[in-house]
Amino acid sequence: MQGRFDSYSVNGPLWADVTHVNYYNHERYHELLDNLVPEAVFYGRGEAILKQRKLIKQNTFAMQRQMHYANHMKKRT
């Protein structure tokens, strides 16, 4: 009987497609979505993630400024 599946392999091309879709929807960052994963946007976590990123960025710039001024003052003395 042609077309009958006697043995079904989970590791075949179908599994590769499922793995790709999972990666694309749950792990890959999309530039159009402000570098968020679609899952985060869909479940409404996007704004919280963007706020957290903004806070981290501000803290990083503040630390860099402090380090720069501290090094500058060491060189002057």
At residue 23's C-alpha, the angle toward residues 52 and 44, to 5°, is 35
Q: Could you tell me the pLDDT band of residue 65, with boundaries at 50, 70 and 90?
A: very high
Mean pLDDT of the chain: 86
In a domain, 56, yes or no: yes
pLDDT of 46-62, one tens digit each?
999 999 999 999 999 99
In a domain, 3, yes or no: no
H or E element that contains 75: helix 46-76
What range defines the domain where residue 45 resides? 13-76
H or E element that contains 3: none
In a domain, 4, yes or no: no
In a domain, 1, yes or no: no
In a domain, 47, yes or no: yes
At 20, give phi and psi (nearest 5°).
-65, -45
In a domain, 2, yes or no: no
Mean pLDDT over 40-51 rounds to 97
DSSP conformation letters of 27-64: T--BGGGTSB-HHHHHTT-HHHHHHHHHHHHHHHHHHH
Our measurement of the distance from residue 6's CA atom to the centroid of its chain's CA atoms, rounded to an integer in Å, reads 40
